[in-house]
Structure 1
Amino acid sequence: MTAPTTEATGIRRASWVPMIGLFLAQILMSYNVSALPVSLGGMVDTFGVPPTDVSTAIVTYGLVVAALVMVGAKIGQRVGWVLMFRIVIALFAVSAVLMITAPTVGFVILAQALAGASAAIIVPSLVALIAENYHGAQQATAIGSLGSARALAGVSAFLIGGTLATLVGWRQVFVVVLLLAVAVFVLSFRLRGEPGNRGIKIDLVAAALIGLGIVALTLGVNNLNRWGIVMARPDAPFDILGLSPAPLLMLIGLVLVQLFFLWTRRRTKAGKVPLVSLSVFGSSRERAAVYAMFIVVGMEAALNFTIPLYIQIVQGRTPFDTSLAMLPFNLTVFITAMLVVRFYRRFPPRTIGMFSFGLTTIALIWLAFVVTNNWETLPTILGLFVFGVGQGALVTLVFNVLVTASPKELAGDVGSVRGTTQNLASAVGTAVAGALLVGILSVNVISSLAEHPELSPELVSQIDLDRVNFVSNDQLKSVLDEQTDATPAQVDAAVALNEEARLNALKLGLLILSGVSAIAIVPASRLPRYLPGEIPESVATGREPTT
């Protein structure tokens, strides 16, 4: 029996069973990442180590993925995508077993390094295998499902992982990872793919440049808040004439990334195979899609950091409460990412992109004015819903533009660009949000002291305002009672000041984020303005359109 075909194009429709495996593979990676913060408290109790030791595992995973994803794409092209996909899924299963049986935190870090190395090949393989197994409208739908899978995995990790970690234990959270890996491995035998090209050489110089550059950038951005944005803070491992090492690492990373592009252009002109084809960035459309993807993922990471910060730290509530607060956003992203492909035949990517960034901008401005220290209010839920609609549309759209703008043989390169961009943007979004909110909070606290004369200079001198951070009211009261000679009236005044400063920091942070979203309309205006089936010959051949 032959597969059905579409009347418009005559393209034979492929079975969706292989896509179920690819969909679950995206959930596998996203669930693993989301499950780590949920399990942090349990690991701290089990291993008897500080939270910073456990958080090293989270950083390790992201660093390994971002540093190796371009190399992973070339390995997949050389060996063959289906074979490499099965191998790395099996390795991911091994990492889950290590997590379940880990006797020390060192094994947890090792497990996440192994998971990150596996994900560095899974990320580009998903794009390549979709390109090899699906075409036309099916391909657009398949690509959209990857974006929705990330949102679904985030909800599942908080709901399922949070419940398991609370009722059974943190190790059982990663039993789910193992079961997912086994399911994906079984379904991988329904995939078809072309054999690998043994003639492909891996550019080790480019691999070192981009790997070290991404590591330096990620470490620098992730430690902006802890080490200092400009001047070195007490937690910085070292300083350079009093300056923080974080911006220096960022500068080194940017230089290494620029050297990577220079080296790749030189290698391409010499007729050699580069680590990643720069034709993925060859036109303003592709570059606009990459810029838009960076901003989209960065905004999502910033919001995913901000909400748990207020619910778990400020309000002192559980991860389960956080998942409920995030439900309107994550479910909206999931549903929109699946449905937005239906609009591709009616509206060009440029229109959808600009409209979606407009939605996220309006939603963030709305949230900045209506948000309180309670995330369960109807106006706040409405703002998260609107932001989720824009976010879900964008995360699918920009990825689809990159895939459809490049020939099938570059699908692995598109996947590696996607992986690098998403991991770097996630780190930047989280770190900048943290540094921004804490910085605004510090300024707000200092400026608000004049409005509270009952807080005497003697009391203020007992508090290190250079280390102001987000704390719950109970924690603040405990610190004031134990470490200062504050009277009950002064404690109440300090709590009121902190509540006001926190809320103002949140509002201003959301306004700044809305400004970033508004600026993103500029690269969105450079997205393609043609509908599927109307791609001009100039675009198909890689030249800029003249109209």
Structure 2
Amino acid sequence: MDTADQLPSVPVATERAVDAQLRASWLPLVLVCCTGLVSVFNATVLPMAISGIVDGLDTTISNVQLAIVAYGVFVAAFTITGGKISGVLGARNTQLLGLSVYAAGMLSCVLAQNVSVLIAGEAIAGLGGALLVPNALAILGQTYSGTQRTVAVSVLAGTTGIGAALALLVGGFLVQAWGWRAPFVLLLVVIAGTSVVASRLRLPRTTFRGTIDKTSIALSAVGVLMLVAAINQIGSWGLVLAAEGAPLSVLGLSPVLALVVIGGLVLHTFVARQHELLDADRTPLLAPQVFGSGLNRACLSGLVAVNLLMAGVSYLLPLYTQMVLGKSPLGTALMLIPISLAALASAAATPVLMRMIACRWLLTAAHVLAAASVILLAMTISNQWSGAWTLISEVALGLGIGVGLSAGSALLMETSPPSLSGEIGSARGMANFLGLCTGTAVAGAVLMSVLAQSASVRVADGSDLLSDSRIEVTTSSVSFVENDDLRSRLAGMELTSAQLDRAVEINVESRLVALRASLCVLGLAALLPIVTFRHLPSRREG
């Protein structure tokens, strides 16, 4: 009787164990996605809070741009090192360490009383991100395989759209209701909860043999930092010829060229160093085969371009809507939410699309769509921000970005062995954040350069302003400011009412020209990786 009573419990217990195992199998993905949401939220919310930070810390837009860039620069510079640390410490310990460092950075941002502390806080968060980004793909690569891995990577890519949407809506509301520090407080709470999940979760761990090459760490970090620093200073130092703001010049040339050349040589030395280490039976910081594959190089270049486009647009549009249109952070969020929602939808559909369309043509279409959309946005955008074409261009841009990010990441993981998942995660992280910080830097440089040139031409053409030579427009003197702020700055120059109105009109016209030029440059940049897509599969799976 007792035996008969106990028999039904056996299959029930077994079924419950299987169900619990299946539910637990997705917990690593949940952890990775929560971490990704934190990273995207932080990168997106800063542009949303730009006007509040400028007023609250009594600083300039250029300094806030530096804070935005600092986060991406430090992730890009140290993510390769972070991938190797993940192999040494294990995924769980690396996740906890990365979250702790990230929390320290966010706490610095919350307590910042000047823009220098804010920049330092974002840089510290970047170091935490350099641990978390490669660790994410290492976890997915070692936990999942086959179709499950494709779905997991696509879901992770979809967190970009979710994080951006949350940053726009939740972040915009928090900034408007409680000030620009509030989103960072929220991030601290989320990080604390994510740390609790990570501490209780069993994550895969592989045995690491060898040592971490310190020379490779220095070469990778210095090379990336020099390249991004050069791009970030194009607007104030000049691209080819040295501008007035350049700290030095040789034969009249800008130091930007020297930084780009030296940074490129340093990264070339880093790659050569990895081959030397491998030939000497030592452990390279990054396996040379990661960049040795034409397919990997195509995917990584595509990720750089898509992230460059996404970051540039995320920087320009909130800046324009708040500084020009006078929209609140929440109002700005509502105007930009179609991009994030479209990116989320297309990322979710990418696994299906990859089975229907060959990756070469899918990624080509995504880049062409994104580039055409941002150029259409540049052509249709105005000082009113209205019209069906503006909405259409936003949605199409989001669709292109979502597919570009998701398909590129998934193809990288599908074609690489699980043993290289950490290395691939490092390369993907460097590509993503190199694109993010470069996008902000390029957008800002083009914006300020074109703004100065456009304003200078219009001032020169205006005889009423030119006759009174008190107005001088240069790249170092011009700034992206609100009309009321411009009036207050010109108040002490004894301009007539007509001259003051004309100066404000020039400001309005020049800002729109600069915005359109910046968007077009970003769109053209998104097309560049297409030449490398010849290395991608031209036939669909199955």
Equivalent position to 1:72, from 57, 70, 82: 82
Contact conserved, 1:18 with 1:187, CA < 8 A, in 2?
A: no
In 2: Cα distance, 1:441 partner to 1:172 partner: 32
SS at match of 2:327: coil
SS at match of 2:356: coil
Aligned to 1:531: 540
Equivalent position to 2:214, from 204, 219, 223: 204
Aligned to 1:464: 473
In 2: Cα distance, 1:503 partner to 1:105 partner: 27
In 1: Cα distance, 2:216 partner to 2:57 partner: 39
Residues 452 and 175 of structure 1, relative CA distance in 2, 3 Å threshold: closer
Superimposed CA distance per residue, residues 421-467 of structure 1 (whole angstroms, 9 cap, x where no aligned partner): 122222222222222233333333344457644x3432355323443
Residues 519 and 237 of structure 1, relative CA distance in 2, 3 Å threshold: closer
User: 1:277-356 alignment to 2 at 5 Å?
Assistant: 277-356=287-366
Equivalent position to 2:38, from 14, 28, 31: 28
In 1: Cα distance, 2:517 partner to 2:189 partner: 43
Residues 46 and 430 of structure 1, relative CA distance in 2, 3 Å threshold: closer
Q: How big is the shift at 1:295?
A: 1.1
Contact conserved, 1:82 with 1:129, CA < 8 A, in 2?
A: no
Check if 1:153 corresponds to 2:163. Answer: yes
Equivalent position to 1:168, from 178, 184, 193: 178
Superimposed CA distance per residue, residues 79-101 of structure 1 (whole angstroms, 9 cap, x where no aligned partner): 21122212322333344445445
Superimposed CA distance per residue, residues 89-134 of structure 1 (whole angstroms, 9 cap, x where no aligned partner): 2333344445445677666555434322221110001001011222
In 1: Cα distance, 2:69 partner to 2:365 partner: 34
Contact conserved, 1:26 with 1:146, CA < 8 A, in 2?
A: yes
* Range that drifts further, 337-346 or 118-127: 337-346
Aligned to 1:517: 526
Equivalent position to 2:260, from 245, 250, 271: 250
In 2: Cα distance, 1:253 partner to 1:442 partner: 28
Residues 118 and 255 of structure 1, relative CA distance in 2, 3 Å threshold: same
Equivalent position to 1:177, from 163, 187, 198: 187
* Range that drifts further, 146-155 or 330-339: 146-155
Aligned to 1:228: 238
User: 1:92-491 alignment to 2 at 5 Å?
Assistant: 92-100=102-110, 108-188=118-198, 191-240=201-250, 242-448=252-458, 452-453=462-463, 455-459=464-468, 462-466=471-475, 467-483=477-493, 485-491=494-500
TM-score by length of 1: 0.87
AA aligned opposite 1:354: T
In 2: Cα distance, 1:55 partner to 1:369 partner: 25
Residues 165 and 508 of structure 1, relative CA distance in 2, 3 Å threshold: closer
In 1: Cα distance, 2:113 partner to 2:471 partner: 42
Residues 358 and 170 of structure 1, relative CA distance in 2, 3 Å threshold: closer
Q: How big is the shift at 1:140?
A: 1.5
In 2: Cα distance, 1:107 partner to 1:510 partner: 30
Contact conserved, 1:26 with 1:149, CA < 8 A, in 2?
A: yes
Contact conserved, 1:132 with 1:192, CA < 8 A, in 2?
A: no
Contact conserved, 1:226 with 1:233, CA < 8 A, in 2?
A: yes
In 2: Cα distance, 1:263 partner to 1:470 partner: 43
Contact conserved, 1:13 with 1:138, CA < 8 A, in 2?
A: no
Q: Percent identity of the aligned residues?
A: 30
Contact conserved, 2:371 with 2:527, CA < 8 A, in 1?
A: yes
Superimposed CA distance per residue, residues 306-334 of structure 1 (whole angstroms, 9 cap, x where no aligned partner): 21232122333332232122111111112
* Range that drifts further, 238-247 or 435-444: 238-247
Aligned to 1:494: 503
Q: How big is the shift at 1:516?
A: 3.0
* Range that drifts further, 35-44 or 78-87: 35-44
Q: How big is the shift at 1:191?
A: 4.5
In 2: Cα distance, 1:428 partner to 1:311 partner: 22
Residues 104 and 284 of structure 1, relative CA distance in 2, 3 Å threshold: closer
Two-structure CA RMSD over aligned residues (Å): 3.0
Q: How big is the shift at 1:76?
A: 0.7
Residues 358 and 98 of structure 1, relative CA distance in 2, 3 Å threshold: closer
Q: How big is the shift at 1:68?
A: 1.4
In 2: Cα distance, 1:129 partner to 1:139 partner: 10
Contact conserved, 2:47 with 2:314, CA < 8 A, in 1?
A: no
Contact conserved, 1:73 with 1:124, CA < 8 A, in 2?
A: yes
AA aligned opposite 2:510: A
Contact conserved, 2:176 with 2:329, CA < 8 A, in 1?
A: no
SS at match of 1:137: helix
Residues 154 and 61 of structure 1, relative CA distance in 2, 3 Å threshold: same
5+ residue gaps, structure 1, are 6-11, 535-547
Contact conserved, 1:353 with 1:525, CA < 8 A, in 2?
A: no
Superimposed CA distance per residue, residues 394-417 of structure 1 (whole angstroms, 9 cap, x where no aligned partner): 011111111112111111111111
Contact conserved, 2:375 with 2:520, CA < 8 A, in 1?
A: yes
SS at match of 2:282: coil
In 2: Cα distance, 1:314 partner to 1:131 partner: 45
Aligned to 1:8: none
5+ residue gaps, structure 2, are 1-13
Contact conserved, 1:42 with 1:169, CA < 8 A, in 2?
A: yes
Contact conserved, 1:231 with 1:242, CA < 8 A, in 2?
A: yes
AA aligned opposite 1:187: V
In 1: Cα distance, 2:215 partner to 2:102 partner: 27
SS at match of 2:467: helix
Contact conserved, 1:35 with 1:158, CA < 8 A, in 2?
A: yes
Q: How big is the shift at 1:48?
A: 6.6
In 2: Cα distance, 1:299 partner to 1:104 partner: 29
Superimposed CA distance per residue, residues 219-254 of structure 1 (whole angstroms, 9 cap, x where no aligned partner): 221122133333444444444455433332222211
SS at match of 1:29: helix
AA aligned opposite 1:273: T
SS at match of 1:520: helix
**Which of structures 1 and 2 has the larger relative contact order (alpha carbons within 8 angstroms, sep 6+)?**
2
Residues 445 and 42 of structure 1, relative CA distance in 2, 3 Å threshold: closer
Aligned to 1:544: none
Contact conserved, 1:349 with 1:397, CA < 8 A, in 2?
A: yes
Q: How big is the shift at 1:135?
A: 2.0
Residues 243 and 161 of structure 1, relative CA distance in 2, 3 Å threshold: same
* Range that drifts further, 97-106 or 166-175: 97-106
